[in-house]
Structure 1
């Protein structure tokens, strides 16, 4: 419906129209008050500079549109008893989200000191963007929010994640037109191809076009309606337009359009649920709302256009404390909302307006889906011991660790089939990552056409594959934040695509863990595989282990990094992370056939400690100290370390070697820095106080130094890892290029044991010769030398 065709006719009677308009005015009034006011929230005293905050922070431009949508969604919820949450893509419109949850009462229930009276209003406006108060964005502190929106681009993908397996839920998702220019948001429109009208809820995208971002027009805001209709019809939506600036016809148009949209959603779901499947991919409704930026605010300031222009984006009137004209302009703006007609003498919202909000959990600020821990059910897990790989002796068995993990996840899928509270996400790599056993239980979800020759596609599937790491991450975040469980597998090098999304989720968890009313949610679990050391055909572009460096930057109580060296340790780790909550767990494990080192019983003991001495590999005296400690973290570093130890033990049998394997990387930090960290005494008992330590690490060496820089023996710690050397080559050649191979490790040990470099000069020469021989062999034959390919741990049965 366009402005030219609007009339005063519509679903709202005169009284209801007046009430909803006044409710909107109340939300706008409180929003402006939060940005500007330090006190005098109801203007019952003449407004002075002392009532104005010394620093003006916040965003006005998008806020009146957000308030408009919120008021109209309240009406639909009450009329239909609808189950709706509100995702605010322009999260910087936080004043509006706080104002609306305050008006509906949910804010004061969670924060009783911000009561629904004059004193509470004073606290409400003062706290916004004020030291000791609340942020300017719709953060975890904001009731009803599962999406901060401080970083733009993720609103719609979070909305779909929330809707999956939530058949009664409608997720109203407001997308700002600046946000709509981002890459993740552009891909998110395709999420409708994965939404089942039988098993899932619905997402109602509301594209809010107000024409400008911080200082420029927006791309979509300048497109014509005809182009927008073609664009979103092409994405598979049925777009409805609501446009204008005159409040009365806009209220009627929005009410009518929401009635139509909710009717369409109900009809789509009813038809599919009656049939048990969708006959074709539905064309879900969406709304394109055009309204002025800074709607109902000052038209001009100092002779310059504000409403309907980028100057309305943040603080439209900037110099209020020191410019009498600006103060008068703010006073007139605030009083234009007629606060005395909105709040009674005690500062409470007028009863006839308060009655417009839904009640109880139907209020969007109190909906339990926006506090997913309230709805979280424990994930049923099989006994991981049942999937154990038999290891009669170290190295005696070869297995693909992630394939074994896939069998475990298959049965997690089976056990959650009824509750539908577990999904696996991945960018088209579930089978590539050897997790394809899950397809014995479920399929990939797919709402497009399915051909007879397609592989494991169905409308009922719970494996989600799309070639967008952004969508996988965002879907999983929305799924977890609304009370479910999940797993994200990805090629190690390309998990960097979602670095920033990881950052935002980690920040959300940090804040929410300090809010008693936010209940714990299931952890976000990553499997990083197809890793840096086995990219035989992909090459340098696929070789980057640096995601864990980013993860290690975060608060210690949020992140965990695991590097299981074989299948049994991977099984324990997988079971463990699926039982945790309010964490981000990163598992790095290879998918290629590799030696298996520990029995299941040994793996359990080792993983519960997170780090330990592998006595089978070393040859130190029971009551003495070693000459050198060979440490390792990661599957390939473990293999190369044991091969290096084999060389040292054969060539220098008098050398006392200790092997330390690290599964939980954060054990290396001090106990004071991380809850999994070793005490200083524990660290010294493993790594000694003064012996050289040769540490073979999966990733960039600097991280190990960073984690251990305060340790007593740090100056004798020599780390070998990925040093940004790579290409398409053999597995062993990759380790040689980066100095992580057995020969370099053995030479490092010899060089650092006092006095050994001279006495073992002949051994050093043989190791250097082996490196030359390797270099020639792989370039002549295209594969590793037989002694490398066929090497086995000498103690195998």
Structure 2
């Protein structure tokens, strides 16, 4: 029962309860029908085996609870005139959310062939978990959704991301008790410490305790209510408890809890916005405890089902072959009294729709769940304002991410009124040299402060929390509701969100295939503090593999950029922040790096994605003897140092230097939109000359991307090969055979005839590597010839 359900709203009348119950019963009927039926949707004739799907797929257990929430959200949205969005967290709750959107009409508006009548109901049933149909979970195909139902653990982070900078929006979030056991969800309760009641919307978590996962009880459902209440209050929430299995009682208690929660939210926002109250608030939430598979079969074959883990998926299996199960299914479906809920043509009767809101306030029609409709262009300033001057290649050094920080500060400043840009990262903004943004916005923070704290701001739009999951989830929710952002992270630790980026890429791929979904701002990663300059933190901080992970995914969505200096980073950043419907990964260093290209040269080079650097090459328009290729800032420096050594020791050798910014350019054009046609690739890398490729990450990725090219047998890649420790910067490249001396040796080993003619040069290079080892062991610093190296054209 509702605990302390105090509200100024009047109690529900019996008529209002009947209307809520009618909608709930209709939604339950539709949810069960989707799992089982492929014909006879209104049960106008006795149920027969041929009416049943040959493969029964889907999840019933969570559906009645989700239907209950959908029903009651309809009531408060309509009664209060709310703009609302709901994030449906429990996995595979698709039947419920599809039922709700079909009843309100938003589904038929999105998919006119699934009309709101008997024929459309039949299509709704047949398409569910059926070849050529729709998935069993809430997915991009589901109107009103921004969260993949099977993506357990991220619902609450997505909800808060949607609420940030959306002051008029209520985001309800149903948290399943199974997903509540995950680490990301456990951290997400702390999002209240970052929610600004002045500029942000409200999040109303609804923790649904139905008691079971697939085969086991859930932890939170087995806690005594007092212990659970203390836990949630400790997180900073004010929980309202609703429990029971009597529909009339639960409807009244849940309605009172919703009213109390929304009344409280309204007071909190009003006092913060109008009266300037700054005390941290404890936001309300609802704990809803109802049986798993409620209203479904109580027993099947003498075994309890309703209220147990057996209700999780399909409570009655083998219905086509088992006449007893078929009769039980028919009794179950008829128990909802569909003849009272739908007219003869299959349309919902007025009582079912009495509490359903209208227009864009319907949960399936809210534009906030189709964020591209609300997206404004990001005001990006001219890059020349921030470009570093380059009089000659390699004459100066800058920290690329510090230069980018100045650009991001301007963007943050220019969006101070629109509030549609955020920078997120795990406690690393200043560490990653982006601290210029603090001149435009502090770090979002609603918890306590001390005099020693810096840059904390109740209204800030820089978000730092030591949870990559929260950073990712917040930003995804923010982007999917139409705003812009950037995720800055240490390269090695972005792997924590591998599964999250998987799901987001899948979401974007599917969304791009749906004409009604408008393109949303891209998910942009800046990976820095990278593998080659984590020499001080050691092996645990050295992992460049996120790029490999992303490039395994859909070519229509993923992009990977490795700008070699500050101006190319500015050009890449301008491009990704303007883009839509992509996942962009940018890897750039924060340590001082040589400036190679002017801003105009950087723009042209980034537009090409890969190209020759004639000023570093010695082929002079003739066919090269060898190609030195590079991708990444440190590999670029090593290749240029190797080119300089070759120019000094083997001046007759024709060397072509190629730099790659966009890694997808290496793919064939038929395999990726950015891929080079064969003639272009062959013109750049040749078909028969050795290519020594110094790459930022794991070397086999380049082999995979270039597989099938005519010159692939001549491709030799150097990169990170899991040899790391706490050491000097140059020793990191020596350990992984990416250093300039090793690259020169590779050229000598692979250019025909050089092994004999240049044996003395090779020996000189090998001796330099030996001297390096002795020097760092004695002095703890790199060789002076390395530390003081400069490009000499």
The two structures share one fold, judged by TM-score above 0.5? yes
**TM superposition shift of 1:5:** 11
Task: Please give the per-residue CA displacement for 1:429-474, whole angstroms capped at 9, x wherever unaligned.
Answer: 0000000010111100100112222110010110000000000000
The CA distance in 2 between the partners of 1:743 and 1:300, in whole Å, is 74
Name the counterpart of 1:687: 685
Name the counterpart of 2:567: 568
Name the counterpart of 1:80: 80
Name the counterpart of 1:222: 222
Task: Please give the per-residue CA displacement for 1:505-539, whole angstroms capped at 9, x wherever unaligned.
Answer: 00000001111111110000000000000012100
The CA distance in 2 between the partners of 1:279 and 1:406, in whole Å, is 30
**TM superposition shift of 1:3:** 8.9
Q: Work out whether residues 74 and 357 of structure 2, in 8 Å CA contact, stay in contact via their aligned partners in 1.
A: yes
**TM superposition shift of 1:4:** 12
Determine if the alignment matches structure 1 residue 235 to structure 2 residue 199.
no
Task: Please give the per-residue CA displacement for 1:691-739, whole angstroms capped at 9, x wherever unaligned.
Answer: 0000000000111000001101000000000000000000000000000
Is the alpha carbon distance of 1:617 and 1:219 closer, same or farther for their aligned partners in structure 2, counting shifts above 3 Å? Answer: same
**TM superposition shift of 1:689:** 1.3
The CA distance in 1 between the partners of 2:439 and 2:460, in whole Å, is 11
**Does the residue aligned with 2:317 lie in a helix, a strand or coil?**
coil
Name the counterpart of 1:553: 552
Name the counterpart of 1:103: 103
**TM superposition shift of 1:10:** 7.2
Q: Work out whether residues 433 and 530 of structure 1, in 8 Å CA contact, stay in contact via their aligned partners in 2.
A: yes
The CA distance in 1 between the partners of 2:328 and 2:600, in whole Å, is 74
Name the counterpart of 2:13: 13
Name the counterpart of 1:428: 427
1:723-734 alignment runs, 5 A limit: 723-734=721-732
Q: Work out whether residues 401 and 567 of structure 1, in 8 Å CA contact, stay in contact via their aligned partners in 2.
A: yes
Name the counterpart of 1:597: 596
Determine if the alignment matches structure 1 residue 786 to structure 2 residue 775.
no
Task: Please give the per-residue CA displacement for 1:669-692, whole angstroms capped at 9, x wherever unaligned.
Answer: 111111111111111111011000
Q: Work out whether residues 162 and 475 of structure 1, in 8 Å CA contact, stay in contact via their aligned partners in 2.
A: yes
1:394-793 alignment runs, 5 A limit: 394-622=393-621, 624-793=622-791
**Does the residue aligned with 2:726 lie in a helix, a strand or coil?**
coil
Root-mean-square deviation over aligned CA pairs: 1.2
Q: Work out whether residues 5 and 253 of structure 2, in 8 Å CA contact, stay in contact via their aligned partners in 1.
A: no
The CA distance in 2 between the partners of 1:178 and 1:89, in whole Å, is 10
Name the counterpart of 2:181: 181
1:288-303 alignment runs, 5 A limit: 288-303=287-302
**Does the residue aligned with 1:528 lie in a helix, a strand or coil?**
strand
Q: Work out whether residues 91 and 147 of structure 1, in 8 Å CA contact, stay in contact via their aligned partners in 2.
A: no
Name the counterpart of 1:41: 41
**Does the residue aligned with 1:726 lie in a helix, a strand or coil?**
coil
The CA distance in 2 between the partners of 1:617 and 1:504, in whole Å, is 42
Gaps of 5+ in 2: none
The CA distance in 1 between the partners of 2:347 and 2:533, in whole Å, is 65
Task: Please give the per-residue CA displacement for 1:601-659, whole angstroms capped at 9, x wherever unaligned.
Answer: 1111111101110001011132x201000000000000000001111110011111000
- Equivalent residue pairs, number: 791
Q: Work out whether residues 2 and 244 of structure 1, in 8 Å CA contact, stay in contact via their aligned partners in 2.
A: no
1:125-144 alignment runs, 5 A limit: 125-144=125-144
1:271-350 alignment runs, 5 A limit: 271-276=271-276, 278-350=277-349
Q: Work out whether residues 3 and 244 of structure 1, in 8 Å CA contact, stay in contact via their aligned partners in 2.
A: no
**TM superposition shift of 1:84:** 1.1
**TM superposition shift of 1:352:** 2.5
**TM superposition shift of 1:594:** 1.4
Q: Work out whether residues 2 and 257 of structure 2, in 8 Å CA contact, stay in contact via their aligned partners in 1.
A: no
The CA distance in 2 between the partners of 1:197 and 1:621, in whole Å, is 64
Task: Please give the per-residue CA displacement for 1:214-243, whole angstroms capped at 9, x wherever unaligned.
Answer: 000000010011001100000000000000
The CA distance in 1 between the partners of 2:483 and 2:567, in whole Å, is 26
The CA distance in 2 between the partners of 1:621 and 1:310, in whole Å, is 73
The CA distance in 1 between the partners of 2:349 and 2:699, in whole Å, is 64
Question: Please, what TM-score do these two structures have when normalized by structure 2?
Answer: 0.99
**Does the residue aligned with 1:92 lie in a helix, a strand or coil?**
coil
**TM superposition shift of 1:19:** 1.2
Most deviating of 450-459 and 232-241 = 450-459
1:57-72 alignment runs, 5 A limit: 57-72=57-72
Task: Please give the per-residue CA displacement for 1:116-150, whole angstroms capped at 9, x wherever unaligned.
Answer: 11111100000000000000000000011000121
Is the alpha carbon distance of 1:641 and 1:5 closer, same or farther for their aligned partners in structure 2, counting shifts above 3 Å? Answer: closer
The CA distance in 2 between the partners of 1:372 and 1:57, in whole Å, is 31
**Does the residue aligned with 1:612 lie in a helix, a strand or coil?**
strand
The CA distance in 2 between the partners of 1:255 and 1:3, in whole Å, is 12
Task: Please give the per-residue CA displacement for 1:264-289, whole angstroms capped at 9, x wherever unaligned.
Answer: 0000000000134x421110000000
**Does the residue aligned with 1:238 lie in a helix, a strand or coil?**
strand
The CA distance in 2 between the partners of 1:197 and 1:785, in whole Å, is 56
The CA distance in 2 between the partners of 1:503 and 1:33, in whole Å, is 31
Name the counterpart of 1:256: 256
The CA distance in 2 between the partners of 1:63 and 1:603, in whole Å, is 54
**Does the residue aligned with 1:629 lie in a helix, a strand or coil?**
strand
The CA distance in 2 between the partners of 1:400 and 1:10, in whole Å, is 62
The CA distance in 2 between the partners of 1:482 and 1:5, in whole Å, is 32
**Does the residue aligned with 2:175 lie in a helix, a strand or coil?**
strand
The CA distance in 1 between the partners of 2:5 and 2:397, in whole Å, is 72
**TM superposition shift of 1:82:** 1.0
Name the counterpart of 2:166: 166
Q: Work out whether residues 630 and 694 of structure 2, in 8 Å CA contact, stay in contact via their aligned partners in 1.
A: yes
The CA distance in 1 between the partners of 2:272 and 2:651, in whole Å, is 72
Q: Work out whether residues 240 and 288 of structure 1, in 8 Å CA contact, stay in contact via their aligned partners in 2.
A: yes
**Does the residue aligned with 2:488 lie in a helix, a strand or coil?**
strand
Name the counterpart of 1:205: 205
Q: Work out whether residues 87 and 172 of structure 1, in 8 Å CA contact, stay in contact via their aligned partners in 2.
A: yes
The CA distance in 2 between the partners of 1:225 and 1:323, in whole Å, is 41
The CA distance in 1 between the partners of 2:61 and 2:146, in whole Å, is 22
Question: Please, what TM-score do these two structures have when normalized by structure 1?
Answer: 0.98
**Does the residue aligned with 2:446 lie in a helix, a strand or coil?**
coil
Q: Work out whether residues 22 and 351 of structure 2, in 8 Å CA contact, stay in contact via their aligned partners in 1.
A: no
The CA distance in 1 between the partners of 2:689 and 2:620, in whole Å, is 15
**Does the residue aligned with 2:785 lie in a helix, a strand or coil?**
helix
The CA distance in 2 between the partners of 1:166 and 1:374, in whole Å, is 15
The CA distance in 2 between the partners of 1:279 and 1:473, in whole Å, is 28
The CA distance in 2 between the partners of 1:563 and 1:245, in whole Å, is 57
**TM superposition shift of 1:11:** 1.5
